[in-house]
Amino acid sequence: MLEHGGNIDLALQRFGGRLEDWIDLSTGINRQPYPVPPLSPRDWTALPSRSEIASLQEAARQAYGARAPIVALAGAQAAIQLLPRLWPPGRARILAPTYNEYAPVLRAAGWDVADVADLESLAGADLAVVVNPNNPDGRRHQPDKLLALLSGVGRLVVDESFVDATTELSLAREAGRSGLLILRSFGKFYGLAGLRLGFALGSAADIDLLAAQGGPWPVSGAAIAIGRRALLDRDWVIKTSARLERDSRRLDALIHSLGWTLVGGTPLFRLYDTGNAVAAQARLAAVHIWSRTFSERPGWLRLGLPGDEKEWTRIAAALAR
C-alpha cells in the first residue's frame, strides 16, 4: 500500500487516542466543509438517472468555467485508476515529486514510466502528467506554459485537484483542446472527501472513453445532490477561498517561529522543511494532531489547515511546547 494522508488508522495505532480525539491535518482536505444539505429519499434509493448525472456535470462545468465535455467520476482518484487503460501503453513522464499514485497505476498497466524534474523534459512523452498546483510542494505552472507542452506530447494530463482556491492557474477554460485532459477533485476544497466525487474534462473522444469505463452509474445519489448544490454556490467558494488564503498565511506565521521553513504549498496545505519530519510528526502526534511525512524526503512535513478556532488553539499550544 502506498503512503497517503488520511491514514488516521496509523496515527491511532502508533500514538493512541480515540478517532474523535484527533485533528487530522495529514491531508489537504478543507476542515470547514460545505454544509451537507438534507437529502431526499430518492438520493439514497434510486439509481442515478442520466439527467441527474448530466445536471451534476453541467454544474461542474459552470463552476469550472468550462465548455468542454466532462464526466463525473468517484473522485479524481477514480480517473487516475482508469487513465492507463484509455490508450495503448507507451512512454509516461511525470513531473515529480508529486502525488504518488500515478507511477504505480501506470506501471501496473504496462506503461514505461519515469519521473522528470522540469516541464521541458516531458516533451516526447505519450502521456505527460503535471499536478498543478503540485502536491506536496505547491509548485505552480502558469497555464500558458502548460499549453505550450501540448504540441510535444501525446496527451497532457493536468491534475487540478488542489486548484479550487487559485483558479487563475486552472486550464479548465481550455479543456476540449486535443491532447489535454484535466482532472478535478470535489472532496478536497469542499471538504467532503468521503463523498467520492471528481471530474475529468477533455476532448469528446477522451471523455467518451472515460465515461464508458466509468459505467452507467459512476457516482452516488448523494454525490449528485450535494455536488450540484455546492458547485453552484459561488458565494461559498469566494468566502472559502479567501479564508483558506488567510489561514494558510496564519499557519506559516505560526510555523515560522519554530524555525521550520516553508517549502511551498497551496491554500489547502503547506509543506515545511522541519529538519526531521519523524520527530516533528511525533511532537504533534503526542497531542493528537496528525500530519504527513514523506519517506523519501526526511525533512518534509505536510500540514493541512486547522478548521475552527479550537483546532487553531490546539495546534498553537502543541507548537509552543
Q: Which residues here bind a second copy, judged by CB under 8 A?
A: 1-2, 4-9, 19, 24, 27, 29, 31, 33, 36, 41-51, 74-75, 77-78, 80-81, 85, 101, 108, 187, 191-196, 212-223
Q: How far is the CB of 297 from a second copy (least distance, A)?
A: 21
Q: What pairs with residue 302 in β-bridges? A: 271, 292
Entry field: residues in the chain: 321
Q: How far is the CB of 249 from a second copy (least distance, A)?
A: 24
Q: How far is the CB of 289 from a second copy (least distance, A)?
A: 15
Q: How far is the CB of 241 from a second copy (least distance, A)?
A: 18
Q: Which is nearer to a second copy, 170 or 240 (CB)?
A: 240
Greatest Cα pair distance, the chain, in angstroms, is 56
Q: Which is nearer to a second copy, 3 or 120 (CB)?
A: 3
DSSP string, 247-290: HHHHHHHHHHTTT-EEEEEETTEEEEE-S-HHHHHHHHHTTTEE
Q: Which is nearer to a second copy, 41 or 259 (CB)?
A: 41
Q: How far is the CB of 244 from a second copy (least distance, A)?
A: 15
Q: How far is the CB of 45 from a second copy (least distance, A)?
A: 5
Q: How far is the CB of 230 from a second copy (least distance, A)?
A: 11
| C-alpha to C-alpha distances, 256 to 27, 115, 249, 272, 309, nearest whole angstrom | 20, 31, 10, 9, 19
Tell me which residue of 127, 126, 129 sits closest to 100, measured CA to CA. 129
- How far is the C-alpha of 185 from the C-alpha of 82, rounded, in Å? 15
Q: Which is nearer to a second copy, 174 or 247 (CB)?
A: 247
- How far is the C-alpha of 95 from the C-alpha of 43, rounded, in Å? 39
- Map grid coordinates 467520476 to a residue: 73
Q: Which is nearer to a second copy, 66 or 192 (CB)?
A: 192
Q: Which is nearer to a second copy, 35 or 298 (CB)?
A: 35
DSSP conformation class of 138? -
Tell me which residue of 158, 134, 190 sits closest to 302, measured CA to CA. 134
C-alpha Rg value of the chain to the nearest Å: 20
Residue 34 phi, psi dihedral angles, 5° rounding:
-60, 135
Q: Which is nearer to a second copy, 199 or 260 (CB)?
A: 199
